[in-house]
Structure 1
Amino acid sequence: MVRVITQDTFDEAVKENMEEFDMNPEEAVQEAVEQFEAQGVDLSNIMKEVILDNSPTASRNKLTASLDNMGKLIQNPSGNEKAIIKELQELKDECDKSIAHRVLAGSFGTYSVLVDVLELFQSVDEVSTKALSAISALMSGNPDLLDKRGIEIMIKYLDHERNVDIQNKVLEWVKVCCIKHEQNRQEIFNMKIPTRLKMLLDKDTTPVTVRHVCGVMRALVLDDDIRVHCGKFHEHARELAAEILCTLTDLLRKFKDDRETVSDVILTLTALIVRNEFCEKVDKAGGIIFIMDVFVNYPASEKLNTLCLKLVKGLAGNDDVKARMVKQGIAPLIVSALHRHETSAALVGAGCTAITALSLRSPTNSKSLYDAGAPEVILQGMKIHVKDSSVQKQGSWAIRNIVSHNKMLCQGFLKLGAEDILRTALKLHRAECDYDARAALRDLGCDTEQL
């Protein structure tokens, strides 16, 4: 279990080092850091540079002064907008410095003050914008501050705000609150967020808003809160997909010339297709044709090609969709992408995983991939990335799935040196891919008894 301490505890330790052991500030801080880390204390939330200035209260004074000023200003808000904006910027600047500054700001009640400002100034765009930027900065990596009142403010802004830039700021705040916090995700989700996100996408929306909505959806289906044994990411993905999947697929066509937006939508689709019927939905909405178009229209984009390969792997979870993808001609496009970007370990890994999924229990697909040149690109990728255990593992599975139901295909792999490549993988990465490389060798008909 990771241990944490408060800023006061750390400051006291530094002060003690300076007073009792006659250390200068730099030595005192270094000694305190080493002491606490030796005890297994996580110091990521601690401001260490404060003491280095020999003024432990510098940031505290700045924060408390700004919060005091803000408290006075919002008691009589009319005519004080410019002064409030100045204080909001001060708070944001402090929070942007580090997670330690954000934790300290939160301990002084900054969150409540910012929520007050958002309630009072919803009709004043410039103030709302600054307050939303400040609260997102405060809660980045520090989402525990969110409460019911904050969620209600989020929903109020999403329901009634007509300024697109402000809506995007709200979406950024929602996303920040969902990262590494399962309880926040569930409470936000329970406020009918899928319906609200769909309404935003159904409008004549901008590419920037699409990307922000996609960011929120991906944050809602994360499983990254180590404090929770079992989250609801699958349920969230299922409900979001049922509500929004077809809309997202349509947006691929609408923004097909906007590379950044296309990337975000593909990434989001991949996160949501957690059930067989969702793969069918994407297919029926034209998703496969669009993926094939991306391979053709953006051949030089390593990022887009990698994302498409990951989506192909996800869609191949449905056997009918898997068969249609190969029948429509996706195999040579995958092989071409692997050939073009053979120096990218990420893309080669994604490509091998897509081939593995497409060829699983499908002799017809395996033959199509083989005929398209899959053996060459798989083995070439494994040779280039010989030190990457992940590529060796994924390449082993791709080989195994292609040949497992058609032993006539083994000879093609063996002629290209598959046995030596797999034995090298075993030698270099036995701990990570012993079973995988050994299974591929066995399915190729190679001797595995001496391994």
Structure 2
Amino acid sequence: MVRVITQETFNEVVKENLELDMSPEEAIEDAVEQFEAQGVDLSNIVKEVMDNIPGESKNKLKSCLDNLGKLIKTSSAKENEIITELKILKEECNKSLAHKVFAGSNGAYSMLVDILEMYSGNYDIALAALNTIIALMNGNPDLLEKRGINVIINYLDTQKNADIQIKVLEWTKVCCIKHEQNRQDIFDMKILARLTKLLHMADVPPGVVKNVCCVARALTLDDDIRVQFGKAHEHARELASEILCTLTDLLQKFKGDKEMVSDIILTLTALIVRNEFCQKVEEAGGITFVMDVFVNFHDNEKLTRQCLKLVKGLAGNDDVKVHLVQKGIGPLIVSSMHRHEKSAGVVGAGCSTIAALCLRCSANSILLYDAGAPEVILQGMKIHNKDADVQKQGSWAIRNMVSRDKSLCLEFLKLGAEDILRTAIKNHGKKIDYDAKAALRDLNCAIE
């Protein structure tokens, strides 16, 4: 189990080091070395001295927070005065994590939630406060509590302005990253019903769809090292039940918008965690839409890689796997791997997708063989012979293609598969030893 500590524990050790006449940099470096030597994971720790914020910046932050506190309590406070202080606070929080933590420890979060509650009907102040609280909590999500979650839910229920909706969704997203308890608390407050309602709005703006997708993906993360078991799968299951078909339909609606297509594909990939969800995507026309993306954005490396990962996910359903290849996905995969053969990411994702499509399915293996898969797999492995992941995925693609139809071995061997696999073992050793030897075995090559 991973060992973790609190920010306070880390700060105490740094403080002790400073008392030993170490410089701030030395104090931090020594503390990091101490904890890492004990096997402690410091990825969630702010590795800056809170007292090491330059005096001018600290004074500016403190003065800003004092001014905001007074303005909140003054009934005659002017709108432009509040917005000015909010912008200063946002700029200071964007400077470093140390600034965020200092602001949070001096009441910034409570003040911002107060402003959001008091000025929910004032567009300019609400927008400025949302931008500021996002800056404060980005990378610093521990500040969130029940009152903040209630503000999120109330804003999603009552605010009709797209700009406000987008900022509330951005705030929700940063609260969910690396914080399992926040994810669960937000989900328990029925956030899913609000996300579904937003997606079903008539002429829903692209920015809203994009940020709904971001929140949905954030709710399915499992990135909080402080928690041994999270609810990523449960969240993905419930999200998929409600919004999977809607997202698939939106993929067609926004098919000409590269950024929107990217976000929707990423979200679909995160949500298809069960067999029936793959089926739902197919029933909603997802296979046709994905094939269109391969064709329409064939020169876009990032989108191609994302499409390959979605196809791999859909191949988790045996029926959908067969339909994908029958409908002609094979030549599109091979073509995309040829076009982006210099990209290790695309080649690795392509090999992984071919492996998934051919797993326990000799009919798919034959169709992919006819589409030219052996050549593109081996060419990719040769080009990226220093990349262990490409060698591993390529090995599995070879193995799954030939394991149930030995007549396909000859073409692989003619193209030099044995030498490529043995070279991979020589270059990467134990990292891919099992995978490459499994492929060699199924190619009927001699192995130890």
Q: Same fold (TM over 0.5)?
A: yes
Q: Is the 8 A contact 1:310 1:350 kept in 2?
A: yes
Find 1:28's aligned residue among 8, 12, 23. Answer: 23
2:416 is matched with 417
Q: Is the 8 A contact 2:53 2:99 kept in 1?
A: no
Residues 114-142 of structure 1: CA distance to partner in whole angstroms, max 9, x if unpaired?
A: 10010011111111111111111111111
CA distance in 1, matches of 2:398, 2:47: 50
Give the drift of 1:40: 2.1
Change (3 A) 1:288 1:52: closer
Q: Which amino acid in the other structure matches residue 170 of structure 2?
A: E
Find 2:112's aligned residue among 110, 114, 118. Answer: 114
- Correspondence 1:41-440 to 2 at 5 A: 42=42, 45-48=46-49, 51=52, 55=55, 58-203=56-201, 204-440=203-439
Q: Is the 8 A contact 1:29 1:52 kept in 2?
A: no
Gaps of 5+ in 1: 18-26
Residues 80-121 of structure 1: CA distance to partner in whole angstroms, max 9, x if unpaired?
A: 211111111111111111112111211111110110010011
Q: Which amino acid in the other structure matches residue 239 of structure 2?
A: L
2:39 is matched with none
Count, aligned residues? 437
Q: Is the 8 A contact 2:138 2:174 kept in 1?
A: yes
Change (3 A) 1:358 1:207: same
Q: Which amino acid in the other structure matches residue 299 of structure 1?
A: H
Change (3 A) 1:349 1:176: same
1:37 is matched with 32
Give the drift of 1:52: 8.2
CA distance in 2, matches of 1:102, 1:367: 57
* SS of equivalent to 1:116: helix
CA distance in 1, matches of 2:230, 2:29: 35
1:20 is matched with none
TM-score by length of 1: 0.93
Q: Is the 8 A contact 2:11 2:49 kept in 1?
A: no
Change (3 A) 1:347 1:138: same
CA distance in 1, matches of 2:95, 2:17: 23
CA distance in 2, matches of 1:444, 1:390: 20
CA distance in 1, matches of 2:136, 2:82: 17
Q: Is the 8 A contact 1:10 1:46 kept in 2?
A: no
Change (3 A) 1:341 1:192: same
1:23 is matched with none
Q: Which amino acid in the other structure matches residue 134 of structure 1?
A: T
Q: Which amino acid in the other structure matches residue 321 of structure 2?
A: K
* SS of equivalent to 2:385: coil
Give the drift of 1:48: 4.7
CA distance in 2, matches of 1:299, 1:31: 50
Give the drift of 1:12: 6.8
2:445 is matched with 446
CA distance in 1, matches of 2:73, 2:169: 28
CA distance in 2, matches of 1:9, 1:123: 46
Q: Is the 8 A contact 1:279 1:315 kept in 2?
A: yes
Change (3 A) 1:419 1:323: same
Residues 7-46 of structure 1: CA distance to partner in whole angstroms, max 9, x if unpaired?
A: 57646744652xxxxxxxxx72333233323322759525
CA distance in 1, matches of 2:389, 2:434: 13
1:21 is matched with none
CA distance in 1, matches of 2:35, 2:330: 51
Q: Is the 8 A contact 2:278 2:320 kept in 1?
A: yes
Q: Is the 8 A contact 1:11 1:51 kept in 2?
A: no
Q: Is the 8 A contact 2:247 2:268 kept in 1?
A: yes
Q: Is the 8 A contact 2:179 2:224 kept in 1?
A: yes
Residues 58-79 of structure 1: CA distance to partner in whole angstroms, max 9, x if unpaired?
A: 4433222111111110112444
Change (3 A) 1:418 1:31: same
CA distance in 2, matches of 1:159, 1:308: 34
CA distance in 1, matches of 2:183, 2:447: 49
CA distance in 2, matches of 1:34, 1:340: 46
CA distance in 2, matches of 1:47, 1:406: 59
Identity of aligned residues (%): 62
Q: Is the 8 A contact 1:326 1:365 kept in 2?
A: yes
Q: Which amino acid in the other structure matches residue 142 of structure 1?
A: N
Gaps of 5+ in 2: 37-41
Q: Is the 8 A contact 1:246 1:282 kept in 2?
A: yes
Change (3 A) 1:421 1:290: same
* SS of equivalent to 2:23: helix
The answer to which of 130-139 and 151-160 deviates more is: 130-139
Q: Is the 8 A contact 2:50 2:98 kept in 1?
A: no
Q: Is the 8 A contact 1:47 1:101 kept in 2?
A: no
* SS of equivalent to 2:273: coil
Change (3 A) 1:46 1:333: closer
Residues 379-409 of structure 1: CA distance to partner in whole angstroms, max 9, x if unpaired?
A: 0000011000000000000000000000000
Q: Is the 8 A contact 2:90 2:131 kept in 1?
A: yes
Give the drift of 1:209: 1.0
